[in-house]
Amino acid sequence: MSDIRFEVIKELNNDFIEKWHRVWENQQNAHFFNSPEWFTSCLKAFNIKDYFIFVGYQDEQIKVIWPAVKMRKFGVSFLGSPGGGYLDKNSILSVDDDLLIVEVLIEKILKNANIYLAEINEETKNNITDLGITKFVRQASINPYISLDLEPFRFIKNKLKNEIKNKVKKYQADFSFKLYTSALNKHLETILDIEKKSFKKKKGRHIFNKKVARNLFGNIVSKQDSTSISLLYFNSKPIAHMFGLIYKKRFLAYHMAYLEDYRKLIPGKVLLYFLLPELVERKFTLFDFSRGDSLLKRQFTQQKKIQYDIFLSKKVIINFYIFCVFFINSVWLFAKKYIKILLNKK
């Protein structure tokens, strides 16, 4: 590939943020996690001081941007996308899905550092797999979604659909729903309170007990054009929420919880019953459930994508070490599965 120039930005300024955002606005593959809004939110929430924004140019036009930070995986130093467990998709932004320049960027970075690409989509994974360098790939997550060009409840079985409709009909005077896209700071404390009294808290899956999560969500909320909060009320009391990220007429359900005391009202399903038609009305094209599998997601859709983690290094000792880690992990997972089968037979 001719006329390629790379630069590494180590100190972000408003001028480059504006350039980044203009590139982001014009790309079909843009999402919140390769936007400058996500990166700046992470810098504040995780108090990141050292970072590397790799920028590739061709004919003096930006063709790829990858914001990366140092991190440790299996005790080894890697460069990877910021966000840790809060990252839903990889932060690489390539113009017109030009995967060739992504390859060139990876090969350049590998001369000086190891690379960890988290939550990579299948197309990018396949392209990187074809590179003539050692890499280790594992499935990272399942990403369910609903395309909104057709009826949004088309995947729900009639039994469940009727259950939701009957619940809404029975309590139609008590239920109310609101999708907020402005003045979100005043609703942030509400979603924190809902999670504190949710089923997630009981199962140890609540995230807002961590200061970094509260800071990250607070920083994201400040990006008004990218964020929404949906609330389901029962007798004017908020009983369920969905924290949504908005980009390119696509809606990503980033976080959801409901009050455990109202579980019999199936508040999560009722909230979706109100939200999905409103998104259709507002001309949204996609509802993204975000990464992770659950019964609720399986009940609402059969559409899904697989995302991957990829580890790359040019160091023989690092590659051998990662191979051993992967091998031990696969043996452990097989042993757990076999033990579970044996216990179920007893």
Q: What are the tens digits of pLDDT across the range 182-213?
A: 889 889 999 999 999 988 766 667 788 899 99
Task: Enumerate residues 6+ apart whose C-beta is below 8 A from 128.
Answer: 102, 103, 106, 117, 120, 135, 310, 312
List every span in the chain annotated with CATH 3.40.630.30: 4-141+306-314, 150-284
pLDDT in tens, 88-99: 999 999 998 788
For residue 4, give the DSSP letter: E
Buried (b) or exposed (e) across 149-179, using 16+ Cβ within 10 A? eeebbebbeeeebeebeebbeeeeeebebeb
CA 286 → CA 233, 249, 280, distances in Å? Answer: 25, 7, 9
Domain 4-141+306-314 in this protein, CATH class: alpha beta
Whole-angstrom Cα distance, residue 302 to residue 280? 18
- Parallel, antiparallel or unpaired: strands 250-258 and 61-73: unpaired
- Strand, helix or coil at 55? strand
pLDDT in tens, 233-273: 999 999 999 999 999 899 999 999 999 999 999 999 999 99
At residue 96, the pLDDT reads 85
pTM above 0.85, yes or no: yes
- Strand, helix or coil at 68? strand
Distance from the first to the final alpha carbon of the chain = 62
- Parallel, antiparallel or unpaired: strands 61-73 and 304-312: unpaired
pLDDT in tens, 14-45: 999 999 999 999 998 899 999 999 999 999 99
CA 117 → CA 34, 70, 113, 297, distances in Å? Answer: 13, 12, 13, 25
- Parallel, antiparallel or unpaired: strands 175-180 and 227-234: antiparallel
- Find the length of the chain: 346
HSE, CB side, 13 Å, CA atoms: give it for residue 82: 27
Are 230 and 241 in contact, with CB atoms under 8 Å apart? yes
Whole-angstrom Cα distance, residue 215 to residue 278? 29
* Sequential DSSP letters for 148-204: TTS-TTTTS-HHHHHHHHHHHHHTTTTEEEEEE-SSTHHHHHHHHHHHHTBHHHHTT
pLDDT in tens, 301-339: 999 999 999 999 999 999 999 999 999 988 988 787 777
* Sequential DSSP letters for 133-160: S-EEEEEEEEEEEEETTS-TTTTS-HHH
Q: Which CATH number applies to 150-284?
A: 3.40.630.30
For residue 291, give the DSSP letter: S
At residue 204, the pLDDT reads 67
HSE, CB side, 13 Å, CA atoms: give it for residue 49: 0
Are 102 and 92 in contact, with CB atoms under 8 Å apart? yes
